[in-house]
Amino acid sequence: MKQQCFHRDRLAFTISVVLGVTGIPSVLAMEDEPLLEEVTVTGIRASLKNSMDVKRDSAGVVDAISAEDMGKFPDSNLAESLQRISGVSIDRRNGEGSRVTVRGFGPDYNLITLNGRQMPSTSLVQNGGGVSQGRAFDMDNLAAESVRALEVYKTGRADIASGGMGATINIITQRPLDRPGLNMSLGAKVLRDTTNVVGDDYTPEAAGLFSWTDEGEKLGFALTASYQQRDSGASGAYTNNWITEAYDGTIPQSPGENSGEPIHILNEPELGELRSLPIDLRYIHSDRERTRINGQLTLQWRPIDTLTGTVDYTYARQDIYENRSELSAWMDTYKSDIAFDRGPVYTPALYWEERREQNPRDIGLALQQQNQVNTLKSLGLNLLWQPGDEFELVFDAHQSESSSLPDAGYGNWINIGLGANISAGQGIDFTGDGLPILLVDFDDGVYGNGNGKLEEGEVGSSVRQIFNDRAFAEFTQARLGANFVFNETHSIDFGIESRDMETRLQSSFYQELLAGGWGIANPGDVPAEYLSPINYAKLFNDYNLSLGSNSREFFDRVSDGRAAPLLLGYTGNAALVGRHLSNAVGLPWAVNPVDNLDRTVHEAVYGAYTQYYFSTDWRAMPVNLVVGLRYEKTGVESTDLANLPSEVVWQSNNDFQIPAGATATPYSEKAKYNHWLPNMDFDIEFIPGLIGRFSYSKTIARANYDQMGSAASGLSGPSLPTLLSGSTLGTAGSGNPGILPLESDNLDLSLEWYFDASSYVSMGYFRKDVDNFIGTATVDVNLYGLSDPTNGPRALQAMADLTALGEPLNDTNLFSMVAANILGVDFYEYTAEEFENLVDVTGNADDAPIIFRVSQPKNSERAVIDGWEVGVQHFLGETGFGLQANYTIVNGDIEYDVEQDPAINGGEQFALTGLSDTANVSLIFEQYGLSARLSYNWRDAFLAGVEDGGRRPRYTEEYSQVDLSIGYEVHENLKLSLDGINLLGEDQRQFARSTSQLLRIEMLGPRYALSARYHF
């Protein structure tokens, strides 16, 4: 039987290095086979066959996705194409695939390369301010039209740079000498996003590819370019937090002796059992715009047959805009009636609280806006020298930079606090079909006209927040690699590499009171022409917003029939409203020029590798062995230029501000570490088409950049004045430059049967033993000598005064009493809202030091992840019908314990995130110029993150999606296609310790695209 030889012939090496560049070899060729004659075969079946060939012919466990034609990838989104590979699942943003998880390892633990080069990636927090810089590459930065193939390396290799513990995913783009002659492709698309409300219902996309070589195939250049505009909307709801504590027989903020009836509790928890309470409920609607521009220019020159030079420049830009409105209620008044469910953690099924003797409080009508631009630029050089069949030498280098910046003079995210004081009571019905119902006892008789309707004149301002976040990254990478062939049985790769990676994060924040202050004391200060009514009931039309009989009886009883769902609010342009309200009080409409975060993390990685290939026949069975070793040395320097705060300002009942200081102080720390990373891949072909594989490798994944800071930042105040029961400490975060990478010992065992030209069945088992998982350690300490304005002589005197007056000890009364004493007036002289507008209480030397719960990353845990991958691909002869399917099972040995008391170890818990089973099925037809693919994608529920110092898990519910793509070849040069994405309009939902503890729900809808593509 003919033996396979793993050393690479000239054509194979050209493909793997010139196209795949830095040491990510593509399909390994057979030396004894004649040079491939180029035959252009296109379509779904050809794409799947090419991908299958990569899987079969590669060393180790490798999967691939190939373009169906020049300028035509199987999906318009790269991440959504990848989910069709076993073991790969995706994270969606705005209903579109953006990042990938492989075998349970999330986006930050997978290495994404562009033509073999590690790309920098930056991002700002979307749907809120702040920087959160990981290592994940957003695949929605790149248009699919310029991509030739995707390769997923699930097993480690010595000739692949470290960082992909789950997998290394290589994006291969077009090269002119790979497709000689003149080639052109032009495409146009019209996108219809059914979630759109205020933007254009139909938005354009255009893409073009031009490639040329001279007749001698010595010189060539290629240009790809694409433009995409998408207008969309997103409606939903979220809760900022659930406060979970062991039940001690009391509920915080229950009515006092002088405030009427005590709290009524149904299904009361047993003492010591966990119970949770929501701090708010917020309905939201966003109008979004995204513009994406991509381009790549590639020049290739082959002055002599043995030398090929390639220069390429890649440019990608995304402009992101979002305007969001909220309708919300903050749950911080008298808890009067709660009906708990009986889950593992007692959670309100029905919840009600009342103002009683207090004036109506505000319902929130905040407006937010995001303006962000993401840019990627990359310049690369590749030189390939092949003096003979036995030796090949390649040099590759690139310099690439990425940035995520505000796209407006007023920052990347603004929050304009608006509200209306109309709530005499408020509650939530959690018993519905996934969307909680917000109810209020509407009372506009104190601050409005008393007609029982929410009107523009009752809306007032409170506070403005301006975030000015910036992220920069610059990577320089160089590699010199060689391949030497001894004979048909033995060959060796070896090389050296350097990577210089620098990331900088900057952020400033403004929080200033507007005319109405925290209490919305100036209703009517928002011009009516800036506000438009918004009916959330119409936006939530897929959900049942009617109260069930039990719920109706409950809320009628607790409110004397006055409670009703609150579904009408206001929206408007946040920037216009914010500018007007800022001008009204003399505030500049600009960002804070003083950064509260300025962090630079510099990593220098130097590596060397060698990899030996051996091929032979054993008992007439082809056997291949690859053994490699990679050494890497890493140096880290983290520098924070910190504007340290000097005071804590108590602004209202439970609102605090900790402004950054005026002077920046640099602080640096250094660290270094090194790793030896072995790998071994073995495969044997038992009978023709039946291949068994065994692989071992050691891989690493480095910590996120935002975990590597050197100074504490992000200081926030406590949830309540610290002298009151139920108060939780303010928080801060501190990085750890010396945090070590995760280390994984990986085993793979698989069996693959290739039983037809385009058909196979595969089953594989994988196991990853991982050390150095990064957990969070929390410590309660004072920072920077700051004082607590809620814990000192002023606060203690106010408590005594309230007790003497017989007033309840709550956050609102305590602030009012402190303010009254400062002003020298009677407690009853002003309302609580007026005291909030008149006085800010700043910590002083007489107050106790304020304690923060500081979270810091640490290497803590060891865990095991294992699972099974099953895949099948088959076409039924020449009928045109085919099937592609896979199923992945992922297991981990450490789960989050939802029943653990958050008071234990400060709430800290370690758990494996991202682990879930997945399945994908595609039914395919391709015949007579017609092609169609109907796909079903499913991902089981999974733990997405552990937040709030370990006290709150964030689970993502089970999600499934149906997509359809239909294409028709009008003639050999013109093809039309119609794509439908998320045809059933599935929504995404996240929850905390139980499914009834909503954290976020985003309502999505189908998208349709009609496109035409013409080839010259």
- How many helices and strands (H and E) does the chain possess? 9, 48
- CATH number of the domain that 157 lies in? 2.40.170.20
pLDDT in tens, 858-888: 887 889 999 999 999 999 999 999 999 999 9
User: Do the Cβ atoms of 453 and 589 come closer than 8 Å?
Assistant: no
- The arithmetic mean of pLDDT across residues 456-485, rounded, is 96
790 inside domain? no
Does the pLDDT of residue 901 top 50, yes or no? yes
State the DSSP code for 713: B
pLDDT reported for residue 29 = 34
In a domain, 938, yes or no: no
Among 321, 417, 319, 409, CA closest to 369:
321
Q: Which is higher by pLDDT, 432 or 675?
A: 675
Q: Taking 70 as the threshold, does the pLDDT of residue 1004 lie above it?
A: yes
Q: Which segment of 71-85, 346-360, 475-489, 746-760 scores lowest on mean pLDDT?
A: 71-85
- Helix (H/G/I), strand (E/B), else coil: 530: helix
Query: How confident is the model at residue 710, as a pLDDT?
Result: 79
From its phi and psi, is residue 463 left (phi > 0), alpha (psi between -120 and 50) or beta? beta
Please report the pLDDT score of residue 984 as a whole number: 95
Average pLDDT over residues 651-672: 87
Lowest mean pLDDT among 11-15, 278-282, 299-303, 776-780: 11-15
| Residues of the chain above pLDDT 90, percent | 73
Establish if 380 belongs to a structural domain.
Answer: yes
Average pLDDT in the 596-614 region? Answer: 94
Q: Which residue has the higher pLDDT, 313 or 8?
A: 313
pLDDT of residue 69: 66
pLDDT in tens, 337-380: 999 998 889 999 999 999 998 999 999 999 999 999 999 999 99
Q: Is 574 among the domain residues? A: no
Check whether 7 has a pLDDT greater than 70: no
Res 28 pLDDT > 80: no
The 10s digit of each residue's pLDDT in 722-767 is 999 889 899 988 888 889 999 999 999 999 999 999 999 999 999 9
On whether the CB atoms of residues 591 and 381 are closer than 8 A, the answer is no
70 within a domain of the structure (yes/no): yes
Distance CA 975, CA 969 (A): 4
Tell me, what's the pLDDT at 5?
38
Domain span holding position 47: 10-238+284-325+368-412+470-510+594-783+853-876+948-1015
pLDDT category, 950, cuts 50, 70, 90?
Answer: confident
SS3 320: strand
* 502 belongs to a structural domain: yes
Q: What is the mean pLDDT of residues 164-173?
A: 91
Total domains present in the chain: 1
**Greater pLDDT, 264 or 11:** 264
Residues 996-1001, mean pLDDT to the nearest whole number: 96
Tell me, what amino acid is at 666? P
Which amino acid type is present at position 847?
D
- 3-state DSSP helix/strand/coil % of the chain, to nearest 5: 10, 55, 35
Q: Is residue 965 part of a domain?
A: yes
CB 861 within 8 A of CB 777: no
pLDDT digits (tens, 9 = 90+) for 425-465: 999 999 988 899 999 999 999 998 899 999 999 999 999 99
Give the integer Cα–Cα distance in Å for 736 and 471: 19
pLDDT at residue 71 in the model: 63
**For 384, phi and psi rounded to 5 degrees?**
-120, 120
Domain assignment of residue 289, yes or no: yes
pLDDT at 141 (0 to 100): 78
What does the block give as tokens for 977?
């296609």
Which is higher by pLDDT, 138 or 918? 918
With bands split at pLDDT 50, 70 and 90, how would you rate the model's confidence at 42? low
pLDDT (0 to 100) of residue 381: 97
**Single-letter amino acid, residue 506:** Q
